[in-house]
Amino acid sequence: MEKQSRLLCSELCVQRRLYEVTLNCAILAWKDIQIAKKHTGRAIYGAVKAGSSCVPVCEIIAVQEKDDDTPCKNTGKWQKVPQSPADPCQHAFTVFYVERTRQHCWWCSNVTFHCSDHSLCLLWVQTIREQLALLNSERRVNYYHTFANRPKSLLVYINPYGGKQRGKQIYDHKVAPIFSRASISTDVIVTERANHARDHLKTEADLKKYDGVVCVGGDGMFSEIMHGLVSRTQQEAGVDENSMEETLMPCGLRIGIIPAGSTDCICYATVGSNDPVTSALHIIVGDSQAMDICSVHNEDRFLRYSVSLLGYGFYGDVLTDSERKRWMGPARYDISGVKTFLSHRYYEGTVSFLPAEGNLGSPRDKMQCRTGCSVCRQSSSDKLVSKNEDSVSDAECQDTWTVIRGKFLAINAASMSCACPRSPKGLSPSAHLADGTTDLILVRKCSRLDFLRHLLRHTNKDDQFDHSFVEVYRVKQFRFSPRYQECDSEVDLRESGVTGKRFLSQICREHRACGCMPSQSNWNCDGEILPHTAIQVRVHCQLIKLFARGIEEQQVFEDPYAHCAI
Ligand SMILES: Nc1ncnc2c1ncn2[C@@H]1O[C@H](COP(=O)(O)OP(=O)(O)OP(=O)(O)O)[C@@H](O)[C@H]1O
Ligand SMILES: CCCCCCCCCCCCC/C=C/[C@@H](O)[C@H](CO)NC(=O)CCCCC
Ligand SMILES: [Ca+2]
């Protein structure tokens, strides 16, 4: 039984919102503050049901002693602490804590305690602070997560350009005040160009100073920071990113995402919402959620990493068309989505893949990856075993690759559900964040009407895999090679060093000239376009960690700690 440290005190009265309650006793338990409260029966406010509410210490953001007229920071106004006539309480302290609201959102709530005896008030504040400090030292295995290590110093990159171009305002008005309340020190860098954050992380940043890196932006910005961190970790560990076979070194620093982009699917799938304050609170309480990363190579040359979607065909064409519409912000995807849907292009090629071993579930098992996911936990223990044995798993040596040739409207690899506001259950609703696999979804050539039905099922409860022209496999590796190699105009363009977006626009001109259907789409890699279409992909299990805990099971909305004894 854990040591109980109990702090009994009586006659504490709580000023909370519109009504006053008198604490007949408040017990500070090891993990929970149990505020047993009974209404003072003030007729003026009407009877309020007596009940108990608890705040787990691991979800307390801060405690602040309150002089009579200290400014109440979160409203920015001076706030006279009203003296309740009944009790001449001179001293007070405020506890700021996480309060859950709808759809996995959190917000920073607070309660102020008044106390007649100053030393008792100080004892409360000091004890709570000691409990908070303890969180960082002990290893705790409990329902939520195996290790809470609260960050004290963070490196923050803000993308002023992504999404609705409000990254800076979102950070300054919604996130910075909570970070300072939690006494977190931050170094903030507003990026001046694309890949500024990646380059800075890769070369200049002194990472020993920080407990984590925060990305204020969308998936593309997260991708930059993830690339910077992973490449730097491999560089420092002497791992060559160009060789596909090498086992990559996991990154120590956690990444936090303050959503300020257009899709924000990585934040949405790891926290359950794209609300900046919710993400900030998950960072403060020191959550930790491991995540798989796919490495993408073309003929032994490293191209990019992917954590959410690798999409060829539909999603690749949507992205290619939307790049020229960035000025439209998030709406660009809808316009390009409709345009791409109407063009209804299919692509020929060969997909080969290495299926995942049996115990990792299947993309159609209706099991969703949630906080404390058993499949992901199983993978991390398997990973430890395989690392010790250092064996290439038997499937890989038996080379049981499956090969599929055909005409495809879309080839998508979802390493996570890719849940996002556009598609609340995501491209692959049963994909796991940290199971070492990716769900390979093949949408074969079909009619526009059938494809529309398939797309619409991403936005409702129907099973988007329940079509004759859709196949989905859980894989550890896969390869794709287009049937028609790039035609010579493409090859000599590439040889002349033209790549990226200029290459694509040149090609489109070429094709318009010859008037044939484009034989190739582009790979959409987490919202960035890859310069090659023939690729080899491998999943690296739990290579990075986020300040998140996965999506929590939806709580029934009553006092989630009603079980607390008083
Ligand atoms: N200061 C900057 N100027 C121009 N581009 C930038 C800057 N900082 C970052 N970028 C680039 O902007 C691109 C888009 O940023 P981000 O992903 O945050 O927004 P988004 O694409 O609208 O969101 P999502 O990826 O969620 O759809 C990223 O690829 C990033 O590399
Ligand atoms: C006519 C009805 C159509 C209904 C279509 C619903 C299907 C939506 C599925 C959304 C899947 C998002 C996958 C996320 C990919 C991100 O890594 C990437 C970068 O942020 N976003 C896009 O490529 C942007 C992709 C945007 C696709 C529309
Ligand atoms: Ca996965």
Ligand 2 pocket test target in 309, 416, 427, 438 with most atoms within 8 Å of CB: 309
Q: Point out the ligand nearest to the CA of residue 416.
A: 3
| Closest residue by CA, ligand 2 atom 26 | 333
Identify the CATH number of the domain in which residue 520 sits.
Answer: 2.60.200.40
pLDDT of residue 22: 29
| Token digits of residue 71 | 């400014």
Which residues does ligand 2 sit against, CB inside 6 Å? 218-219, 263, 265, 308-309, 315, 318-319, 333, 337, 418, 420, 422-423, 427, 455-456, 458-459, 524, 526-527
pLDDT of residue 5: 30
What are φ and ψ of residue 429, in 5° steps? -55, -25
* Residue 388 belongs to some domain of the structure: no
Pairing relation of β-strands 535-546 and 254-259?
A: parallel
Q: Which of 39-53, 77-91, 361-375, 497-511 has the lowest mean pLDDT?
A: 39-53
Residue with structure tokens 């799938």?
269
CB atoms within 10 A of CB 137: 7
Q: Do 277 and 337 fall within a single domain?
A: no
Report which ligand 2 atom has the smallest distance to the Cα of 263: 20
508 vs 199, which has greater pLDDT?
A: 199
416-444 burial string, b = 16+ CB within 10 Å, else e?
Answer: bbbbbebbebbbbbbbbbbbbbbbbbbbb
pLDDT of residue 338: 96
| Closest residue by CA, ligand 2 atom 9 | 423
Asked if pLDDT for residue 81 goes beyond 80, the answer is no
Asked if pLDDT for residue 285 goes beyond 80, the answer is yes
* Span 258-281, pLDDT tens digits: 999 988 999 999 999 999 999 999
* Span 56-69, pLDDT tens digits: 778 889 998 876 44
Report which ligand 1 atom has the smallest distance to the Cα of 163: 22
pLDDT of residue 437: 95
Q: Which domain holds residue 94?
A: 6-137
* Residue 564 belongs to some domain of the structure: no
Amino acid at 202: K
Asked if pLDDT for residue 209 goes beyond 90, the answer is yes
Nearest to residue 161, comparing CAs of 127, 193, 129? 193
Share of the chain above pLDDT 90, in %: 56
Asked if pLDDT for residue 516 goes beyond 90, the answer is no
Cα separation, 162 vs 348, in Å, equals 33
Q: Which of 71, 103, 137 is the last residue of a domain?
A: 137
Identify the CATH number of the domain in which residue 54 sits.
Answer: 2.30.29.30
Share of the chain above pLDDT 70, in %: 74
Instruction: State how far the alpha carbon of 25 is from the alpha carbons of 37, 48, 209, 560, in Å.
Output: 8, 18, 43, 21
Asked if pLDDT for residue 217 goes beyond 70, the answer is yes
| Closest residue by CA, ligand 2 atom 19 | 527
Asked if pLDDT for residue 529 goes beyond 90, the answer is yes
pLDDT of residue 110: 86
Categorize the per-residue pLDDT at 37 as very low, low, confident or very high, splitting at 50, 70 and 90: very low
Q: Which of 84, 115, 137 is the last residue of a domain?
A: 137
Categorize the per-residue pLDDT at 488 as very low, low, confident or very high, splitting at 50, 70 and 90: low
Reduced to 3 states (helix: H, G, I; strand: E, B; else coil), residue 512 is helix
Q: What spacing in Å lies between the alpha carbon of 496 and ligand 3's midpoint?
A: 37
- What value does the mean pLDDT take over residues 214-224? 95
Ligand 2 pocket test target in 264, 412, 422 with most atoms within 8 Å of CB: 422
Active site residues: 219
Q: Which of 77, 105, 137 is the last residue of a domain?
A: 137
Identify the CATH number of the domain in which residue 268 sits.
Answer: 3.40.50.10330
Asked if pLDDT for residue 215 goes beyond 70, the answer is yes
Asked if pLDDT for residue 139 goes beyond 70, the answer is no
Q: What spacing in Å lies between the alpha carbon of 492 and ligand 2's midpoint?
A: 33
**This prediction's pTM:** 0.82
Categorize the per-residue pLDDT at 428 as very low, low, confident or very high, splitting at 50, 70 and 90: very high
Query: Half-sphere exposure of residue 365, counting CA atoms within 13 Å on the CB side?
Result: 15
Residue with structure tokens 């406010």?
45
167 vs 134, which has greater pLDDT?
A: 167
pLDDT of residue 501: 60
470 vs 330, which has greater pLDDT?
A: 470
pLDDT of residue 347: 96
| Token digits of residue 56 | 């787990």
pLDDT of residue 173: 97
- The H or E element containing residue 233 is helix 219-237
Reduced to 3 states (helix: H, G, I; strand: E, B; else coil), residue 508 is helix
Categorize the per-residue pLDDT at 212 as very low, low, confident or very high, splitting at 50, 70 and 90: very high
Report which ligand 1 atom has the smallest distance to the Cα of 329: 22
* Residue 387 belongs to some domain of the structure: no
Q: Do 299 and 246 fall within a single domain?
A: no
Is the Cβ atom of 217 under 6 angstroms away from ligand 1? yes
- Indicate the number of domains in the chain: 3
Cα separation, 76 vs 173, in Å, equals 11
Q: Do 480 and 340 fall within a single domain?
A: yes
| Token digits of residue 256 | 């936090």
Ligand 1 pocket test target in 159, 165, 307, 327 with most atoms within 8 Å of CB: 159
| Closest residue by CA, ligand 2 atom 22 | 527
Q: What spacing in Å lies between the alpha carbon of 526 and ligand 3's midpoint?
A: 14
- The 8 Å CB, 24+ separation contacts for 197-201 are 197/157, 197/159, 197/221, 197/224, 197/225, 197/228, 198/224, 198/225, 198/227, 198/228, 198/231, 199/228, 200/157, 200/228, 201/157, 201/225, 201/228, 201/229, 201/232
Q: Do 87 and 117 fall within a single domain?
A: yes
For CA atoms 143, 148, 150, 156, the dihedral sign is negative
Q: Do 196 and 243 fall within a single domain?
A: yes
Q: Do 351 and 497 fall within a single domain?
A: yes
46 vs 208, which has greater pLDDT?
A: 208
* Residue 180 belongs to some domain of the structure: yes
Nearest to residue 304, comparing CAs of 212, 218, 410, 195? 195
- What value does the mean pLDDT take over residues 495-507? 61
Q: What spacing in Å lies between the alpha carbon of 421 and ligand 1's midpoint?
A: 18
Q: What spacing in Å lies between the alpha carbon of 291 and ligand 1's midpoint?
A: 21
- What value does the mean pLDDT take over residues 413-426? 92
pLDDT of residue 35: 42
Q: Do 113 and 186 fall within a single domain?
A: no
Mean pLDDT taken over the chain: 80
Amino acid at 282: H
* Span 365-396, pLDDT tens digits: 999 999 988 889 888 877 776 665 544 555 55
* Span 169-195, pLDDT tens digits: 999 999 999 999 999 999 999 999 999
* Residue 109 belongs to some domain of the structure: yes
Asked if pLDDT for residue 128 goes beyond 90, the answer is no
Q: Do 430 and 334 fall within a single domain?
A: yes
* Residue 228 belongs to some domain of the structure: yes
| Closest residue by CA, ligand 1 atom 6 | 194
What are φ and ψ of residue 458, in 5° steps? -75, -15
539 vs 146, which has greater pLDDT?
A: 539
For CA atoms 227, 321, 494, 533, the dihedral sign is positive
Q: What spacing in Å lies between the alpha carbon of 148 and ligand 3's midpoint?
A: 23
Report which ligand 2 atom has the smallest distance to the Cα of 452: 1
How many Å from the N-terminal Cα to the C-terminal Cα in the chain?
18
Categorize the per-residue pLDDT at 468 as very low, low, confident or very high, splitting at 50, 70 and 90: very high
Q: Point out the ligand nearest to the CA of residue 319.
A: 2
458 vs 553, which has greater pLDDT?
A: 458
Reduced to 3 states (helix: H, G, I; strand: E, B; else coil), residue 270 is helix
Q: Which of 54-63, 242-251, 359-368 has the lowest mean pLDDT?
A: 54-63
* Residue 560 belongs to some domain of the structure: no
Asked if pLDDT for residue 562 goes beyond 80, the answer is no
Cα separation, 507 vs 489, in Å, equals 8
Outline where DSSP puts E strands in 101-251: 106-115, 153-158, 185-190, 212-217
Nearest to residue 421, comparing CAs of 380, 459, 477? 459
Residue with structure tokens 């992973």?
230
Q: Do 196 and 95 fall within a single domain?
A: no
pLDDT of residue 326: 84
pLDDT of residue 47: 21
Q: Do 316 and 432 fall within a single domain?
A: yes
Is the Cβ atom of 231 under 6 angstroms away from ligand 1? no
Q: Do 58 and 168 fall within a single domain?
A: no
Is the Cβ atom of 461 under 6 angstroms away from ligand 1? no
Residue with structure tokens 């787990």?
56
Cα separation, 285 vs 546, in Å, equals 12
Cα separation, 99 vs 174, in Å, equals 16
Nearest to residue 293, comparing CAs of 145, 159, 413, 425? 413
Q: What spacing in Å lies between the alpha carbon of 436 and ligand 3's midpoint?
A: 5
pLDDT of residue 494: 56
Amino acid at 1: M
Q: Do 375 and 472 fall within a single domain?
A: yes
The overall longest dimension of the chain from CA atoms, in Å, is: 88
Q: What spacing in Å lies between the alpha carbon of 422 and ligand 2's midpoint?
A: 7
Asked if pLDDT for residue 225 goes beyond 60, the answer is yes
Is the Cβ atom of 264 under 6 angstroms away from ligand 1? yes
* Residue 195 belongs to some domain of the structure: yes
